Structure 1
Amino acid sequence: MTSTAQAAPMEILDDDRPMRPAMLRGWRRRCPACGSGPMLQGYLKVRDHCPVCDEALHHHRADDGPAYLTIVVVGKLLTPLIFWVFTAFRPEPLVMAVAFSIAAVALSLYLLPRLKGMLVAIQWSRRMHGFGPSAD
C-alpha cells in the first residue's frame, strides 16, 4: 500500500511533462516547456533561461551525449550508403572519399544542435539534473 502511495505523485509529475512533445520541441531547438522560445544561444550554447516563459535551462547535463549520438547516427546512415555506392557504381576512391567526407561533415553539423536540444528536452521531461520540483 505504501509503494502505490509513493508512486502516485511521480506519475502525476510525469504526466505534466510528456516526453514526446518535449523531444520534438528540443529537435526544433525550442524551449521544452513552452515550445516557442529559442533553447540555444548560438550554435550549441544552451540559454540559462527561456526568454519567453522564463523556464530555467541551465540545469542540463548534455555533456558529450550529443556528439556520441551524432557519430552513431551519421555512421549508421553513411556506412550502408558507402557500401552500396562502392558496389553499384565503383567510383574513383578520391571522388568517393571527398563526397562522403563532405556528406559526413554536413550531416554532423545539421544533427549536432538538434540532438543536443533533444537531450536537454529529455532531461527536462524526466526532471533530471535539477529540472525537478526542487529546481530554482
Structure 2
Amino acid sequence: MTHGTLLYKGKLVLPSESKWTQQIMVECHSSAEGGHAGAFRTMKRIANGFFWRGMKKAVYDFVAGCLVCQKHKYQALKPAGLLQPLAIPDLIWEDISMDFISGLPKSRGFDVLFVIVDSSPSTATSSF
C-alpha cells in the first residue's frame, strides 16, 4: 500500500472484474497509440503500469476477439513456389511412409493404429 493505493512491483493492482481492465485493454490495443499491434505488444504496454489476476489470458482473449485485427490479418510469409510432382517409384517398398493414428476409442484394449503406406503403383494388386 502506497498512499492508499495497492501496488505490485510498482504497478497498480486492479480487481480482475473491474470495469477499468476492459477500458485499459481498449486503450492499449485499439487506440491510435495502440495501433492493433498484437497480443504480445498490447500485453507489454499494459504490464508497464497495471496488474490483475488473469491479465495475460484476458489480454490475449481480447486481442483474439478484435474484429479489426481479424479483418486485416495478412500473411507474413512469402508465397510458396510452384508445386513439383514427386517421382513415382519403380519397385514396391521403395518409398514408404509410416504414421500413428491415436486418440481413437478403445477396441480390444487398443486405441492407436499404425499405418504404413507404400506409394508405388504396383502395390494395388499386391496382397500380404
Normalised TM-score (structure 2):
0.23
Q: Which has the higher contact order (CA 8 A, sep 6+)?
A: 1
Task: Please tell me whether Structure 1 or Structure 2 has the larger radius of gyration of its CA atoms.
Answer: 2
Structure number with the higher strand fraction is: 2
Normalised TM-score (structure 1):
0.22
Structure number with the higher helix fraction is: 1
